Structure 1
Amino acid sequence: MTATADQAADAGADKGAATDTGADAGADTGAQEAARFHALLRTFEGRAAATAGQGKDPVNQPMIRHWCEAMGDANPAYTGPDAIAPPTMLQAWTMGGLSGHGDRSSAYDELLALLDGAGCTSVVATDCEQEYLRPLRPGDTVTYDAVIESVSPRKTTKLGTGHFVTTRMDVRADGELAGTHRFRILKYAPAAAREKKPAARRPRPVVNRDNQGFWDGVAEHKLLIQRCTGCGTLRFPWLPGCNACASLDWDTVEASGAGTVFSYVVMHHPPFPAFDPPYAVALVELAEGVRMVSNITGVPYDKVRIGMPVRLEFLRADEDLELPVFRGSEG
């Protein structure tokens, strides 16, 4: 018996419908499993993440000074006999350092173990929120409790698929609520590595009449700093006038090339075709006293440290672009 064309088409349609139905059923099963797992994770919401924790040190002036120096914050409220701690130091007084605190709850460890078991073995801190209720002062004893506030449904990010876990820490000073710190992490299963595309060209710097001399210096492997001829103030980046005395007259001095890392960040996201994250971007303090933003080369991104000595070098990014960068040393 020979099937007609119409019968063959109907059979093909039936087979396609069956395939679609199977795919839909698989998707439904996956969604149901994800919902069941999320329901299990949510049973940890409201459970303690840390109980009766205590800061390793009372609020103290040396730590406040170190913080302010690192941040470049010269607010007089943070010095003197009536000093307070910068509000953003709230979490600093609760940190356990390399030795830890030992006050983390078993519930938090169980939650992380569940996520590990589901393949979410990687972790990244995503954001934090702080609320300040009263200032911390030198001599205050800091105590805290933390709770698992929320666990998100499964989310897919460029890093991978996983769950956001938010903890809320209530920080007290001598028993009085001083502030609240919310901290969020993503526990995720890393996404499969994507095939790298050919490297794209870096963005071109905007060169104009105000900074042309700087880029002319770079072309000659010189890092030129503007100097006001009116008051002698050095300035960087290049500006048309002095921000100290408003003079429009200036000349240049060549930087020695020596510097130190004043501050830095490690860039993971957002991705950009011309760059290969993670990489370190630093605010470098030159020996001459001015600061500039540049990349750190010569050391892994996770070895860059504040205070690290660096030395100027010039990076050939492509055939048309050369940039001043700074080489660090792990030694």
Structure 2
Amino acid sequence: MSGDEPDELLARLRAYEGRAAAVSCVGKDRVNLPMIRHWCEAMGDTNPAYEGPEAVAPATMLQAWTMGGLSGNETRTAAFDELSALLDEAGCISIVATDCEQEYLRPLRPGDEITFDTVIETVSERKTTKLGSGYFITTRTDMRVGSRLAGTHRFRMLKYAPHAPARAKRNTPRPRRPRPVVNRDNAGFWEGVDRHELLIQRCTGCGTLRHPWLPGCNSCGCLDWDTVRASGEGTVYSYVVMHHPPFPAFDPPYAVALVELAEGVRMVSNVVGVPYDKVRVGLPVRVEFRRYDDESTAGSEGAGGVQGDGVLLPVFRAAEGEA
């Protein structure tokens, strides 16, 4: 326990450990093929196990069957709201999801009705993070089909008091953007970026295009591949607007899009050339290569190769006249 943490507050918080946050809830929809299809289309998962009369649901959909939607779950208890209010009183007024863990115990099939209970499992000691100081709260949701446990979902969040904004120091260099992780599986993609080429992997066994780059084909399992140079044309398939707390090298809010290329594969990148609140599904975009963090070309577009500490990244510019 940190030295400045009141023993009394931690004791009051931990009194909620083991208390139910939701009891005898029933999923709003039974496991069903349309939801499975939507999930697989969004994930680009073409596994035949998720289709037809013997279909099973992707294991990673486990939480989807318990989501309450905008109306929530009617059988939720007051325990979590009370815990949250107690932390608000202590100055921990912000909250962020940090991670989750899932355990899959049996396959789910269309027609299965999911019931579930949620418990407040643990409340941590007060922790100091880059966002601020506060408490990690872990909930555990047990999901069942009939009397059989189908899976467990642990969800962890940080309820914290934000740090006071730091005053900017004069002549402090702007933090660098995080560098992409380059490995033997995706090195060819980044070599293409250095040449201002957007390369897509193509399976030489069945011809399937894929992105991100992988060591083998999801469709036929073939390990051999070559590349296709993308035209760079695409449309916004989906997007989010990032409103996270200030983070080095980034200035929220900004738009991050899942772009569907003309060749049919999808990739994630930033949308530029249009205000974040003007990005929309179906917006035509075209790839451009933008250099970051290199003082000689900071913010420039079309600067190839790696120079100094700069990093060249593919981003997507809204088509002229679409802003």
The normalised TM-score by structure 2 is 0.72
Give the match for residue 326 of structure 1. 316
Give the match for residue 150 of structure 2. 178
1:299–1:104 CA distance, 2 compared to 1 (3 A): farther
Question: 2: distance between equivalents of 1:310 and 1:259?
Answer: 4
Give the match for residue 58 of structure 2. 86
Query: Is the Cα–Cα contact under 8 Å of residues 140 and 152 in structure 2 kept in the other structure?
Result: yes
Give the match for residue 153 of structure 1. 125
Deviations 1:217-263 (A, max 9, x none): x4xxxx665799x99x7978899xxx999798x885643x3322367
Structure 1: unaligned runs, 5 residues or longer: 1-26
Give identity over the alignment, percent. 56
Query: Secondary structure in 2 aligned to 1:63?
Result: helix
Instruction: Give, as a single letter, the amino acid of the residue that structure 2 aligns with 1:295.
Output: N
Query: Is the Cα–Cα contact under 8 Å of residues 240 and 257 in structure 2 kept in the other structure?
Result: yes
2:232 corresponds to 1:260:
no
Residue 328 (structure 1) shift: 6.0
Give the match for residue 311 of structure 1. 285
Question: 2: distance between equivalents of 1:102 and 1:91?
Answer: 17
Residue 312 (structure 1) shift: 2.3
Instruction: Give, as a single letter, the amino acid of the residue that structure 2 aligns with 1:259.
Output: T
Structure 2: unaligned runs, 5 residues or longer: 302-312
Residue 134 of structure 2 is aligned with which of 149, 152, 162? 162
1:328–1:124 CA distance, 2 compared to 1 (3 A): farther
Query: Is the Cα–Cα contact under 8 Å of residues 147 and 168 in structure 1 kept in the other structure?
Result: yes
Question: 1: distance between equivalents of 2:63 and 2:291?
Answer: 41
2:38 corresponds to 1:66:
yes
Query: Secondary structure in 1 aligned to 2:39?
Result: helix
Residue 168 (structure 1) shift: 0.6
Residue 325 (structure 1) shift: 1.9
Deviations 1:286-312 (A, max 9, x none): 1232444422233549x977x553412
1:47–1:251 CA distance, 2 compared to 1 (3 A): closer
Residue 75 of structure 1 is aligned with which of 14, 39, 47? 47
Give the match for residue 166 of structure 2. 194
RMSD: 4.1
Residue 175 (structure 1) shift: 3.2
Matches within 5 A, 1:223-238: none
1:263–1:131 CA distance, 2 compared to 1 (3 A): farther
Question: 2: distance between equivalents of 1:75 and 1:227?
Answer: 19
- Greater Cα radius of gyration, structure 1 or 2: 1
For these two proteins, the number of residue pairs brought into alignment is 287
Question: 1: distance between equivalents of 2:190 and 2:176?
Answer: 22
Query: Is the Cα–Cα contact under 8 Å of residues 53 and 103 in structure 1 kept in the other structure?
Result: yes
Matches within 5 A, 1:92-107: 92-107=64-79
Query: Is the Cα–Cα contact under 8 Å of residues 192 and 199 in structure 2 kept in the other structure?
Result: no
More helix by share: 1
Give the match for residue 260 of structure 2. 285
1:225–1:127 CA distance, 2 compared to 1 (3 A): closer
1:81–1:213 CA distance, 2 compared to 1 (3 A): closer
Question: 1: distance between equivalents of 2:101 and 2:132?
Answer: 24
1:153–1:287 CA distance, 2 compared to 1 (3 A): same
Query: Is the Cα–Cα contact under 8 Å of residues 310 and 326 in structure 1 kept in the other structure?
Result: no
Residue 121 (structure 1) shift: 0.9
Query: Secondary structure in 2 aligned to 1:98?
Result: helix
Give the match for residue 294 of structure 1. 269
Residue 160 (structure 1) shift: 0.7
Query: Secondary structure in 2 aligned to 1:37?
Result: helix
1:251–1:102 CA distance, 2 compared to 1 (3 A): closer
Residue 163 (structure 1) shift: 0.6
Residue 58 (structure 1) shift: 0.6
Query: Secondary structure in 2 aligned to 1:123?
Result: strand
Question: 2: distance between equivalents of 1:278 and 1:96?
Answer: 27
Residue 100 (structure 1) shift: 1.4
Question: 1: distance between equivalents of 2:7 and 2:252?
Answer: 33
Query: Secondary structure in 1 aligned to 2:46?
Result: coil
Query: Secondary structure in 2 aligned to 1:259?
Result: strand
1:66–1:211 CA distance, 2 compared to 1 (3 A): closer
